[in-house]
Amino acid sequence: MQRRLSTWLLLAPAGLWFAVMLVLPLCFVLVFSFGQREAAGGYVPAFTFEQYANLPARWTAFRNTLTLAPLGTILSLLIAYPLAYFLAMRADPKWRTMLLILVIVPFWTSILIRSYAWIFILGGQGLPALVDWLGFGSIRLINTPFAVLTGIVYGYLPLMVLPVYVSLERLDKRLLEASADLGAPPLQSFLQITLPLSLPGVATGCMLVFILLMGEFLIPAMLGGGKVFFIGNALVDLFLQSRNWAFGAAVAVTLVAIMLVTVTLYMSLMRRLGGAREDVSLM
């Protein structure tokens, strides 16, 4: 009995925090999404599906997000997989931890400053100036989908490398030896053993990157220059500029709903792959 009491006392502060700062706010968003807009901006309580019916007004933001987020995810995977493979299979074990830390650390530093670095590099006086000087004519890089994709891959690469690395590292290396002993060429061993066994890591990485990309604001705001904008940019506009809280709440609920569907699909896919869930520590 005493033990139960102490357990509840230990859980109380965090529990209260999650209730007031997470559960309550998310309920508010749901309630607001059925409300109406006040003429001067703000919110009037109501129960209407008007805001949801109005969603097509922000169709461009949804379309951009739903094309560039998967594209960015695939690009990140293509760049991350060989690196994860190198770290897990080829790198000197002495240096492996340090190399891994060097991949993770940028992810935790300010994405704002790191995207800013790309404004600097892709901006008029950066790479394009260099290309022009070399005599290849003038090109424009900043404020294009290319710039946004570069920022995305740059920002989320660590998140993709890590889960793939974990699944490759756990792979039983004896399987590869057996395959080689039986005369399989390296490529065949890779395609029939390494690749299928690393799929759970690939799926985890893709899901993490895709979900975080869905809510991205900074990268398109900084590198897309108002031309390539995501749902996140529409949300900032709705809440902080046009102050249309009810409609903004409906957009936010839709965003979370899309994410939930993705996660559910992913979970059922993983179950079908027969895969054990990969517990990946990003810390």
Residue 48: CB minimum distance to another protein, A: 17
Among 36, 50, 70, 123, binds another protein (CB under 8 A): 123
Quick check: 145 and 228 in contact, CB under 8 A? yes
Interaction between residue 259 and another protein (CB under 8 A): yes
Q: Hey, what are 163's tokens?
A: 């889960």
- The reply on whether position 247 binds another protein by CB under 8 A is no
| Shortest reach from residue 120's CB to another protein, in Å | 6
Contacts of 22 (CB under 8 A, 6+ apart): none
Closest CA to 152 of 234, 205, 73, 256: 73
Contacts (CB under 8 A) with another protein, residues 144-183: 154, 157-158
Measured from the CB atom, the residue of 101 and 182 that comes closer to another protein is: 101
Q: How far is the CB of 209 from another protein (least distance, A)?
A: 12
Query: Rounded CA gap, 37 and 6, in Å?
Result: 47
Residue of 52, 146, 190, 239 that binds another protein (CB under 8 A):
239
Residue 26 makes contact with another protein by CB under 8 A: yes
Give the list of residues 6+ apart from residue 166 with CB closer than 8 angstroms, or none.
201, 278, 280
- What's the CA gap between 259 and 261, in Å, rounded? 5
Hey, CA dihedral for 273, 276, 279, 280, is it positive or negative? negative
Interacting positions 44-103 with another protein (CB under 8 A): 79, 82-83, 85-87, 90-91, 97, 99, 101-103
Rounded to a whole number of angstroms, the minimum distance from the CB of residue 43 to another protein is 8
